[in-house]
Amino acid sequence: MANPNKQKGTAWESAIRDYLNAFLGLVDERGKFLDPMSGSNVRRAAQEGAKDVGDIHCAPFVLEAKNTASPAVPTWIRQAEVEAGHAGFPFGVVVRKVRGFSVAMGSVHVSVRTWTRIRLALGMDTSEFRALYGWSASLRGLDTSRWYLTTTVRDLAHLISDYRRNVPSGVTRAVR
> What CATH number was assigned to the domain covering residues 52-174?
3.10.310
Mean pLDDT of the chain: 92
Is the confidence at residue 170, as pLDDT, over 70? no
| CA angle centred on 19, ends 16 and 25, rounded to 5° | 135
Least confident of 19-23, 78-82, 166-170: 166-170
What is the tens place of the pLDDT at every residue in 124-143? 999 999 999 999 999 877 88
- H/E element holding 148? strand 148-152
Q: Where are the domains of the chain?
A: 52-174
Is the confidence at residue 98, as pLDDT, over 90? yes
One-letter amino acid at 137 equals A
